[in-house]
Structure formats: C-alpha cells, structure tokens
Amino acid sequence: MTWFDTDQEDLFAVLIDYEQYHSFTSAIVESRKQEPDAKGRPEFFNRMEGCVLFWCRTFIRIGSLELDSIDEVRAVVDAERSDFKLSYEHWRLSTEDGRTCLVYEFEMIPDFWAPPVLVPYYIKRALRRVGARAAQHIEALATGEEPPVL
C-alpha cells in the first residue's frame, strides 16, 4: 500500500497510460499502447530487461487492461504473445483526506527457464527495491512534475 499526494483521477490516468511505463523503472526499456483487443479493451506492450547475478534476460509482456471504474485497474497478459504463462497486476485506488491510496498486487509465472534457486529470491528483492522509486515517478507524472532521473 502506498499513499500519493495527488487526485485519484490523475493517478488512474498515469496507471493506464502505457506510453509512460518506461519512465517508472529502468527495467522497462520499451512500453506502448496497442490497438484495443476484440473485446474493446486497451492493450499494452512492455519489453523488459534484467539481470540476476550472471543470468540476463529480455521479457515481453503483451496484454489487456480491464477498466471497470477509476477505483481499479487490472492488467492481464496474453500468454500466447508473452514470455509469461501468467502475469496479472491489480491496482486498487481509494481517496482519503485528499490523498490517494494505491494497493498493488502482482502475480506471475514465467514461460522460460530460470535458475530455480536464485532467481525467485532475487526477482522478489528487485521488485521491492524498484517499487519505491517507481512510486516516486508515478506520483511526479500524476502531479505534472518531471520524474526524477532513474
């Protein structure tokens, strides 16, 4: 859970704008919107690069956004076009005392071989480490400020 000093509507707009995702973290080297899928849902493309010790990899995530209200964003990958059997992100937003609370959940199952002992530990550690920096970038974008340099 993270609190942001911005309006919920502005934060929501940043979360659904995949053109900006590469500015959240250096792990995302390319991000863009795609044409809507057959159900009319916005689609996204991410190319990520990362290394864990000696093991380096490029990952592709292509999927769609499920947007029912400005209280929730769900991103689900298309496993046939991605390097993940499953990748699911869920952002829940709420407002209290002029601030916006964001609760973020992420679940993934890679569709590639990774060193089984080290990689899960290091991936979790890296996600926690970059999460705070990503939150600073998201808040800056939502308030119209220039994000800090990655």
- pTM, to two decimals: 0.86
pLDDT at residue 40, rounded to an integer: 93
Could you report the per-residue pLDDT of 105-122, keeping only the tens digit for each?
Answer: 999 888 987 777 666 676
Strands 55-69 and 72-77: antiparallel
Q: Where are the alpha helices (DSSP H) in 16-92?
A: none
What's the fold here for domain 2-142? Alpha-D-Glucose-1,6-Bisphosphate; Chain A, domain 4 (3.30.530)
Mean pLDDT of 123-147: 83
pLDDT at residue 109, rounded to an integer: 87
Does position 22 have pLDDT exceeding 80, yes or no? yes
**In whole angstroms, what is the distance from residue 110 CA to residue 108 CA?**
6
Mean pLDDT of 34-53: 90
pLDDT at residue 119, rounded to an integer: 62
Q: What is the mean pLDDT of the chain?
A: 89
pLDDT at residue 150, rounded to an integer: 66
Q: Where are the alpha helices (DSSP H) in the chain?
A: 8-15, 119-142
**In whole angstroms, what is the distance from residue 81 CA to residue 61 CA?**
7
pLDDT at residue 118, rounded to an integer: 63
